[in-house]
Amino acid sequence: MFDIILQGGLVYDGSGARAFTADIGIRGEKIVEIGDLSGNGGAERISVAGLAVSPGFIDLHTHSDFTLAAYGRAESQVHQGVTTEVVGQCGVSCAPARCRHDVELMSPGFVPGLIAPDWRSFGDYLDHMAETPLGVNVAAFVGHGTIHRAVLGDALRPANDDELDAMAALLERSLEEGAYGFSTGLEYWPGSLATPDQVARLCEVAAARDVLYATHVRNRDIFYDLGFGEALATARHSGARLQISHIQPKYGAPAEAMEHSLELIDWARRQGVDVAFDVIPHDWSHTRVLAILPQWAQEGGVEALQKRLRDDDSRDRIKRNPKPMWRLVADRRWDEIVLMSAPQNRDLVGLTFEEIGRKRGCDPYDAALDLLLEEGEEMNHLMWTSHSFRDEDISLALSQNDCAVISDTLALAPYGPLKHLIGSLSGYGWAARFLQHYVRDRKLLSLEDGLRRLTALPAERLGLKDRGRLAKGCYADITVFDAQAVASHFDLAEPRRYASGIAHVLVNGRFALRDGARTETDNGQVLRRQ
């Protein structure tokens, strides 16, 4: 009757209800029974007594669009219990595209030479993913920035009416082809070019399809209330279901920003807006160094930017930018900003920019711009990190019932073609850190509720009816772990350390991780919105 029985574990079904001891019977891809299965024979029995048995973790916000398409093992995620990723966030996705160059430019985590990115439409991209062995399931959002580029190219202006109609048609087509939602990155170029009414026009397309609209808002520091207010107004006007990505305010925001943002959300809900949010479970922020450059400097693409960086007058103008994405840069807090990824200067990774400037005998700002030049065509891989978030804000967000937990990172492996990539400091341990730090050590949430934030809650926001729960008929995406031992081990010196305490991970009924060791099985599926 069963292929596998997980025997005697403490079952956390994902709903937040009290855990109970039971066996789980699996046949094929699905859970077919939960209860006392001691009288059933013929199945492979695995004792999980003393361990927590949970739905596989769903990472609602990642940037693994290209890394999964190129090498889908997703070691960094599987080793910490993740069974489903949602890519295409912050307005950036691998498709749709006009040409191969656009794919390479817009694909998060792009590495030249790994694969031939021959897709153009969103459906073509999903088809490519479906032919790739995947360690996790993948749902993909389509990004506003990618759609903008597909219609306007490098143009440094908002879309006109005809172009906006073309963007809306491209969004509609991408949703028809299986995109699970729509995202914006309004703090980044080209999302920063879009006006609120243009975003609302596109959100109307998402609302008509009843898909989630996820936004990296326009500002989370000194004008945080305008950033969050715009997101809420856009959702109110368009009727779209809103997911505010990584809601924690950044360095430069007033101390009351998180509390005030939650008040704004509460008010919007009283007006009928469907809104929820998520957090990254640590106080490190990370982004591309390119993101701090003013819009005008990025017009024309990489070659044009390189010329500006080599020109003294243009460089001085760039450095005088009064509103960089990180206020830390404007305040010259170079001792708080750490180089996280630099393929051409790996010996500098882990140093602060104050240290890099001193080592190179130049101003730290010039050091950052020089590093961009040294990366050449791959300058979008230059990343840095900083203590931009406050733990108090993360804790306050987690106290809200509908706050999910995300990674905001890439699915990677510490070997093979992706071994030098890094998406964030916590990429190999974000879920483990949440369960270790906020649930077990600080007891901000019960384990039942903490697991709900990683499973049923994101599944409900996405509209996944048969994942994120342990119940008869659901897909057997299951994570088995030691609740007292689960831990993250990443740090600045070595971020590529697997989490510990995870015993087994099943994806669609097959073991991706067994007895703490990765199997050769990659049984993930591409999830297409119907």
Domains of the chain: which residue ranges?
A: 1-50+473-484+501-519, 57-284+389-463, 289-386
- Cβ neighbourhood burial of 491 (10 Å; 0-12, 13-18, 19+): exposed
SS3 for 375-422 is HHHHHHHCEEEECCCCHHHHHHHHCCCCEEECCCCCCCCCCHHHCCCC
Q: Which of these, 388, 371, 387, 367, lies nearest to 379 by C-alpha position?
A: 371
In angstroms, the Cα distances linking 448 to 102, 257, 340, 390, 400 are 43, 29, 34, 25, 15
Q: Please tell me the predicted confidence (pLDDT) of residue 41.
A: 77
Domain 1-50+473-484+501-519 CATH assignment equals 3.30.460.80: no
Q: Average pLDDT of 322-333?
A: 88
**156 pLDDT higher than 80:** no
Cβ neighbours of 42 (radius 10 Å) = 9
With beta carbons less than 8 A apart as the criterion, state whether 468 and 58 touch. yes
Q: Tell me the pLDDT band of 73, cut-offs 50, 70 and 90.
A: very high
**387 pLDDT higher than 90:** no
Q: Average pLDDT of 137-151?
A: 97
Q: Average pLDDT of 378-403?
A: 92
Positive or negative, the Cα torsion across 439, 445, 447, 450?
negative
Q: Please tell me the predicted confidence (pLDDT) of residue 235.
A: 98
Residue 301, sorted as left (phi over 0), alpha (psi -120 to 50) or beta, turns out to be: left
Percent of the chain whose pLDDT exceeds 70 = 100
**326 pLDDT higher than 90:** no
Q: Average pLDDT of 477-493?
A: 94
In angstroms, the Cα distances linking 402 to 8, 203, 274, 457 are 30, 22, 11, 7
Q: CA-CA-CA-CA torsion for 319, 321, 322, 326, nearest 10 degrees? A: -80
**Can you state the angle between helices 161-176 and 196-209, rounded to 10 degrees?**
30
Place of tokens 């695995």: 46
Contacts of 40 (CB under 8 A, 6+ apart): 1, 2, 5, 25
Q: Which fold would CATH assign to domain 57-284+389-463?
A: TIM Barrel (3.20.20)
Q: Please tell me the predicted confidence (pLDDT) of residue 492.
A: 80
Place of tokens 């299951």: 478
In degrees, rounded to 5, the angle at the alpha carbon of residue 507 between the alpha carbons of residues 496 and 88 is 65
Percent of the chain whose pLDDT exceeds 90 = 84
H or E stretch covering 206 = helix 196-209
**10 pLDDT higher than 90:** yes
Q: Please tell me the predicted confidence (pLDDT) of residue 421.
A: 87
Q: Please tell me the predicted confidence (pLDDT) of residue 110.
A: 87
Q: How far is CA 21 from the centre of its chain?
A: 33
DSSP secondary structure letter of residue 223? T
Q: Which amino acid is at 394?
A: I
In angstroms, the Cα distances linking 58 to 122, 178, 467 are 22, 18, 9
Q: Average pLDDT of 192-209?
A: 97
Cβ neighbours of 337 (radius 10 Å) = 25
Residue 418, sorted as left (phi over 0), alpha (psi -120 to 50) or beta, turns out to be: alpha
For 27, how many CA atoms within 13 A lie in the half-sphere containing its CB? Answer: 9
What distance in Å separates the CA atoms of residue 206 and residue 69, rounded to the nearest whole number?
Answer: 25
Q: Please tell me the predicted confidence (pLDDT) of residue 342.
A: 87
In this structure, of 94-103, 173-182, 499-508, the range with the lowest mean pLDDT score is 94-103
Average pLDDT, the chain: 95
**42 pLDDT higher than 80:** no
Greater confidence (247 vs 300) lies with: 247
Q: Tell me the pLDDT band of 37, cut-offs 50, 70 and 90.
A: very high
Domains 1-50+473-484+501-519 and 57-284+389-463 share a fold: no
DSSP codes, 312-360: HHHHHHHHT-S--S-HHHHTT-GGGEEEEE-TT-GGGTT-BHHHHHHHH
Greater confidence (40 vs 458) lies with: 458
Q: Please tell me the predicted confidence (pLDDT) of residue 192.
A: 93
With beta carbons less than 8 A apart as the criterion, state whether 289 and 382 touch. yes
> DSSP 3-state assignment of 34?
strand
In this structure, of 324-333, 362-371, 398-407, 432-441, the range with the lowest mean pLDDT score is 324-333
Q: Average pLDDT of 160-176?
A: 98
**Would you state the structure tokens that stand for residue 94, as one six-digit string?**
């691998």
Q: Tell me the pLDDT band of 350, cut-offs 50, 70 and 90.
A: confident
Q: Tell me the pLDDT band of 296, cut-offs 50, 70 and 90.
A: confident
Q: Please tell me the predicted confidence (pLDDT) of residue 493.
A: 78
Q: Please tell me the predicted confidence (pLDDT) of residue 530.
A: 83
